[in-house]
């Protein structure tokens, strides 16, 4: 486990909506895909809705039109169909949701000025213009009517290949359930606005996708390529029409979550979530949720009745969605209960160490809201006896029952997200008077198995033969993490007091600092932070693990940086990746303030900012400088195959602290 733990990719994102799924796919192609074994999981209660099944098994129908010099304009994209045939798919619930074009066509993309420089960089031309002879379209907007009106009835047959390929792509590669998305609009009582073109481009790439989806917040228009060798986001921007933009965004916002979660000693999780949400628009009938793919839904109920739901195979397009008995009006509240369970959302790392793999979607969370939505939470956790649970919110009660430790938690204030960490923890705590605040620090009593194996390797018992740190002699330093627990606590106390003085009180009245078995990143949730286990090692051990990073001061500021996210990220949220740089930037700025009081040597503060500067202007192994990659508002998009900044180069990875060593 050691190599994967040490080399855990920093930029792991969660598939939430189509564009988010695309991002996930793009990142997946950069990661190690080995070990994903397809399996056919039967869903006895899910996926049975007849309209959904009709969409899932969609083929070309009988209807086709000939087109000559037809322009199809969709936001910034203009398709010119010079000549050819359009064959439509068979209707589902009376609606035609797709077509295949064969002939001669061009696509011109007039992206807004903010995206033009990126496009120009990629195409080396002033105007983005692609030519194609085949394309599959999926839509719930007026495309069927528009093309029928513009063309003349024909009897030609079309090759169904592009349609089949688009179905294969969304299911197996992008892992996004396009049929579930289309079902949202087909069953909605209001007209839909989805438009997707899978283009076999001739000039740039034969796997191009133009996607327009009004049901997501932020940026509804994207142009991407998704071939194995060349995948990336070429352009991403909001709908250009202001009225359409007003109607865009997630269909619901979640008001309250009541989560009852049980985790067994083998880390298997079972949950029961009672979710109350409000419909943001008229006509909402299908509600998508973000749920970790291996957590399999057993049932969804509302008002005592079972509701149909969708969740495909865990290794494919496993997006979870619920079909309501009837459409909701704008502002209408609705409550449903989901039961689910499975492995891999949490991992047992040995010796009382558990790793929460899923951070945002271990329960049915809203899909595609980043940190821009605030909800309240009531949570109950059942974990193996002897383990200690640490979660977001205030601890209401703790008891033991039948071999389980049971804790109840309640959010002190609406939260952007909810999460937990648990293990065989030792606790150190301090009560602050000004501000009135409880700071707690939790470290594991024993190291996880991967650290144990390093220790054994050092003593010559059992040399691991794979990975970067084969046989590293790490027995010299101490690996007892509880010794540094006091240090983490002291850093947390000082940071809370200092930041309160500078920025005012945060939303939450307590902070729990916890050790996690991942080595090289930290993360912050409301009232809960995860600190990488390697922070708790002494400098000798870190040196032997090749994790010095000391010259960049990472280990000195990881705790104050994560604590600062209580203000930047969770008191002030962000609804788009475009704004995440502020959350990271303010947290880094806060950490530098921390250095001025924690360390009497003023040089530390100067060193910190010198390090930040060199991270921007030093060249990486590919010769790129972070400062040249693009504006900070491009966020994670700055790391791509062009800048080489996603290569696994360890400390040579340039970062602009938009998408840094922590997610929030």
Residues within the interface to Zn ion (CB under 5 A): 584, 587, 662
Taking the least distance from each CB to Zn ion, the nearer of 173 and 584 is 584
CB of 521 to Zn ion, least distance (A): 9
CB of 254 to Zn ion, least distance (A): 24
Cα 452 off chain centre by: 31
Taking the least distance from each CB to Zn ion, the nearer of 136 and 591 is 591
At 21, which helix (H) or strand (E)? helix 18-30
Q: Give residue number: closest CB to Zn ion.
A: 662
Please name the residues in contact with 126: beta carbons below 8 A apart, sequence gap of 6 or more.
Answer: 120
Taking the least distance from each CB to Zn ion, the nearer of 512 and 587 is 587
| Dihedral sign, Cα of residue 33, residue 37, residue 38, residue 42 | negative
Taking the least distance from each CB to Zn ion, the nearer of 185 and 588 is 588
Q: How far is the C-alpha of 96 from the C-alpha of 61, rounded, in Å?
A: 9
Taking the least distance from each CB to Zn ion, the nearer of 475 and 589 is 589
Q: Where are the alpha helices (DSSP H) in 57-194?
A: 113-123, 143-150, 161-168, 178-186
Taking the least distance from each CB to Zn ion, the nearer of 491 and 584 is 584
Q: How far is the C-alpha of 522 from the C-alpha of 512, rounded, in Å?
A: 13
CB of 403 to Zn ion, least distance (A): 38
Q: How far is the C-alpha of 365 from the C-alpha of 343, rounded, in Å?
A: 18
DSSP 172-209: IIS---HHHHHHHHHSSSS----EEEEEEESSS-SSEE
CB of 362 to Zn ion, least distance (A): 21
Phi, psi of 613 (to 5 degrees): -65, -45
CB of 662 to Zn ion, least distance (A): 4
Q: How far is the C-alpha of 63 from the C-alpha of 403, rounded, in Å?
A: 64
CB of 207 to Zn ion, least distance (A): 34
CB of 353 to Zn ion, least distance (A): 23
Tokens for 660, please give them. Answer: 């840094």
Taking the least distance from each CB to Zn ion, the nearer of 99 and 557 is 557
Residue 505 is classified by DSSP as: -
Taking the least distance from each CB to Zn ion, the nearer of 85 and 416 is 416
Phi, psi of 474 (to 5 degrees): -110, 15
Taking the least distance from each CB to Zn ion, the nearer of 30 and 582 is 582
CB of 587 to Zn ion, least distance (A): 5
CB of 644 to Zn ion, least distance (A): 23
Is the distance from CB of 343 to CB of 268 less than 8 angstroms? yes
- Pairing state between β 60-74 and 152-154: antiparallel
CB of 584 to Zn ion, least distance (A): 5
Residues 352, 356, 362: CA angle, nearest 5 degrees: 135
Taking the least distance from each CB to Zn ion, the nearer of 88 and 555 is 555
Taking the least distance from each CB to Zn ion, the nearer of 389 and 563 is 563
Please name the residues in contact with 335: beta carbons below 8 A apart, sequence gap of 6 or more.
Answer: 274, 275, 276, 277, 302
Residue 287 is classified by DSSP as: E
Please name the residues in contact with 88: beta carbons below 8 A apart, sequence gap of 6 or more.
Answer: 60, 61, 63, 64, 96, 98, 99, 144, 147
| Dihedral sign, Cα of residue 286, residue 282, residue 18, residue 71 | positive
CB of 522 to Zn ion, least distance (A): 7
């Amino acid at each position: 486990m050691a190599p994967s733990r040490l080399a855990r990719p920093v930029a792991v994102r969660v598939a939430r909506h189509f564009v988010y799924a695309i991002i996930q796919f793009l990142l997946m192609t950069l990661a190690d895909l080995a070990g994903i074994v397809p399996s056919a999981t039967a869903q006895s209660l899910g996926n049975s809705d007849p309209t959904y099944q009709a969409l899932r098994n969609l083929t070309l129908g009988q209807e086709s039109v000939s087109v000559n010099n037809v322009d199809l304009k969709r936001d910034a994209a203009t398709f010119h169909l010079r000549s050819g045939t359009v064959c439509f798919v068979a209707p589902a619930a009376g609606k035609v949701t797709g077509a295949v074009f064969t002939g001669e066509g061009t696509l011109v993309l007039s992206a807004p000025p903010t995206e033009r420089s990126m496009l120009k960089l990629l195409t080396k031309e002033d105007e983005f213009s692609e030519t194609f002879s085949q394309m599959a379209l999926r839509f719930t907007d007026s495309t069927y009517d528009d093309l029928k009106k513009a063309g003349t009835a024909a009897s030609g047959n079309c090759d169904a290949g592009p349609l089949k390929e688009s179905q294969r792509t969304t299911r197996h590669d992008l892992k996004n359930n396009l049929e579930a998305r289309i079902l949202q609009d087909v069953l909605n009582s209001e007209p839909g606005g989805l438009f997707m073109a899978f283009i076999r481009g001739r000039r740039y790439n034969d796997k191009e996708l133009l996607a327009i989806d009004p049901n997501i917040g932020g940026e509804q228009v994207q142009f991407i390529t998704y071939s194995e060798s060349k995948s990336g986001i070429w352009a991403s921007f909001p709908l250009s029409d202001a009225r359409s933009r007003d109607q865009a965004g997630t269909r619901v916002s979640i008001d309250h979550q009541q989560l009852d979660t049980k985790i067994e000693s083998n880390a298997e999780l079972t949950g029961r979530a009672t979710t109350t949400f409000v419909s943001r628009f008229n006509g909402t009938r299908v509600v998508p949720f973000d749920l970790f793919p291996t957590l399999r839904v057993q049932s969804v109920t509302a008002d005592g009745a079972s509701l149909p739901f969708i969740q495909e195979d865990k290794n494919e397009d496993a997006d979870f969605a619920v079909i309501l008995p009837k459409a909701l009006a704008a502002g209408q509240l609705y409550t449903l209960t989901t039961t689910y369970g499975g492995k891999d959302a949490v991992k047992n790392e040995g010796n009382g160490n558990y790793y929460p793999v899923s951070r945002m979607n271990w329960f049915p969370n809203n899909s595609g809201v980043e940190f821009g939505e605030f909800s309240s939470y009531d949570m109950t956790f059942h974990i193996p006896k002897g383990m200690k649970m640490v979660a977001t919110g205030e601890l209401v009660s703790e008891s033991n029952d039948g071999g389980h430790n049971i804790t109840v938690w309640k959010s002190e204030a609406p939260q952007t997200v909810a999460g937990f960490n648990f293990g065989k923890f030792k606790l150190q705590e301090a009560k602050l008077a000004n501000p009135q605040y409880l700071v707690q620090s939790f470290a594991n009593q024993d190291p996880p198995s991967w650290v144990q194996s390093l220790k054994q390797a050092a003593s010559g018992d059992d040399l691991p033969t794979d990975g970067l740190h084969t046989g590293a002699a790490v027995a010299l330093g101490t690996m007892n993490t509880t010794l540094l627990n006091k240090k983490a606590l002291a850093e947390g106390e000082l940071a809370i007091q200092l930041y309160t003085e500078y920025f005012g009180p945060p939303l939450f009245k307590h902070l729990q600092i916890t050790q996690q078995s991942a080595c090289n990143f930290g993360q912050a949730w409301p009232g809960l932070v995860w600190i990488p286990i390697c922070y708790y090692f002494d400098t000798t051990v870190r040196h032997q693990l090749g994790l010095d990073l000391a010259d960049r001061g990472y280990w000195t500021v990881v705790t104050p940086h994560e604590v600062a996210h209580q203000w930047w990220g969770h008191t002030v949220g962000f609804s788009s990746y475009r704004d995440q740089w502020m959350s990271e930037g303010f947290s880094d700025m806060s950490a530098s303030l921390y250095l001025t009081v924690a360390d009497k040597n003023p040089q530390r503060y100067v060193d910190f900012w010198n390090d930040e500067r060199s991270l921007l202007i030093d060249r990486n192994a590919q010769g790129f400088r972070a400062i040249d990659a693009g504006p900070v508002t491009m966020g994670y998009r700055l790391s791509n195959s062009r800048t080489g900044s996603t290569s696994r180069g360890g400390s040579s990875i340039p970062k602009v602290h938009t998408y840094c060593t922590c997610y929030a």
